């Protein structure tokens, strides 16, 4: 009977009241609560990449940065301790060459640490490199001043020339040995500063020493009169039938000429060109006289078509005829009124 009662109860038959009586009494504390989802582990926050150096900074750390960048092969200028455009570009180049770094041109802590790993502590020479002031091959007034200052200390025996050649290089080496400066033959800023401190500013005559050039008499070329050797002169020889255009003793042009026929002889002597007439026509003899250079009355040097055609068979009415039209045209343009003209044997 007890078994049957338990079975019926387990099957849920009976009255609602009986069922309620069979339910266990539960209190609030015993009620099941929903399970809370486990909290996910939070990732630790990354420490910010601190900015150590940036454009506009000026310090000895910037100088060290520049020297180290020089070791890394991305900074070719002299360290200045100022973080400008050149330094920004060099930092960016270093960052670009290292994939772990962000390319920004600014030195964050990560950039600085990697740079320290890849370089060595800069030497004094790297931090404060010497600057070349003058060297072999230079040619200017500063070299002339250098030479004049070396003369004051008996390290340069010649007059200053302004050219930095072997003589100047040897003289600089001599001074550097005497002054206790590194002997290089090149004038770096330390050599120049020491030399300027040991000498006085050269006077202009010390830098530009007047040189007396002896006057050498020019030998008179064959066929020229001595009077043709000075100034601008048309030198006309009746002996050689030639006209030479001479400036300060240098013969610039020589032309064949012929003279006046018998009874119309060309006068000899020293004259000046008093009138030039490019397209002259003789009213007395009704003949053309192009490129006429008048020197004595109606006598002139001019182009002659007759001379070109007939040579020395004919003669002029006292003028000096030229048969090379192109040459006399060029001569006409070069000669000035007032230039000297000599007709001689």
- Catalogue the active-site residues: 302, 319
CB 83 within 8 A of CB 57: yes
Assigned token pair, 191: 């050599």
Beta strands 132-134 and 107-108 are: unpaired
Pull the structure tokens for residue 184: 């290089």
Pairwise CA distance, residues 243 & 283, whole Å: 26
What is the C-alpha to C-alpha distance for residues 315 and 27, in angstroms, rounded to an integer?
159
Q: Which two tokens stand for residue 89?
A: 């570009």
Distances (CA, A) of 167 to 157, 174, 255, 297, 324: 9, 11, 49, 63, 54
Question: What CA–CA distance (Å, rounded) separates 266 from 236?
Answer: 11
Cα-based torsion angle of the residue sequence 162, 163, 165, 168 in order, rounded to the nearest 10 degrees? 10
Using only the alpha carbons of the chain, give its radius of gyration: 53
DSSP summary character for residue 113: H
Distance between CA atoms of residues 67 and 71, nearest Å: 6
């Amino acid at each position: 009977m007890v078994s049957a009662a338990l079975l019926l109860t387990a099957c849920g038959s009976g009255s609602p009241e009986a069922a309620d009586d069979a339910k266990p009494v539960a209190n609030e504390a015993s009620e099941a609560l929903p399970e809370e989802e486990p909290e996910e582990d939070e990732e630790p926050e990354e420490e910010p990449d601190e900015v150590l150096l940036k454009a506009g900074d000026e310090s000895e750390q910037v100088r060290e940065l520049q020297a180290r960048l020089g070791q890394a092969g991305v900074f070719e200028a002299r360290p200045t301790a100022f973080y400008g455009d050149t330094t920004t570009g060099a930092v960016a180049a270093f960052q670009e060459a290292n994939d772990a770094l962000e390319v920004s041109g600014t030195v964050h802590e990560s950039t600085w640490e990697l740079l320290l790993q890849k370089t060595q502590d800069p030497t004094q020479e790297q931090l404060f490199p010497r600057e070349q002031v003058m060297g072999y091959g230079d040619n200017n007034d500063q070299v002339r001043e250098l030479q004049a200052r070396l003369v004051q200390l008996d390290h340069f025996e010649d007059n200053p020339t302004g050219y930095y050649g072997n003589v100047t290089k040897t003289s600089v080496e001599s001074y550097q040995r005497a002054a206790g400066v590194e002997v290089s033959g090149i004038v770096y800023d330390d050599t120049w500063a020491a030399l300027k401190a040991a000498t006085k500013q050269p006077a202009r005559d010390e830098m530009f020493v007047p040189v007396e050039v002896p006057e050498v008499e020019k030998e008179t070329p064959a066929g020229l009169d001595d009077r043709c050797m000075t100034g601008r002169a048309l030198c006309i020889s009746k002996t050689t039938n030639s006209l030479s255009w001479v400036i300060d003793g240098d013969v610039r042009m020589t032309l064949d000429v012929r003279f006046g026929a018998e009874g119309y002889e060309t006068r000899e002597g020293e004259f000046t060109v008093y009138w030039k007439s490019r397209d002259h026509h003789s009213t007395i003899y009704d003949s053309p006289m192009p490129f006429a250079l008048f020197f004595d009355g109606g006598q002139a040097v001019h182009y002659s078509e007759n001379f070109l055609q007939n040579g020395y068979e004919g003669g002029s009415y006292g003028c000096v005829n030229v048969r090379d039209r192109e040459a006399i045209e060029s001569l006409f343009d070069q000669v000035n009124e007032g230039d000297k003209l000599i007709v001689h044997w």
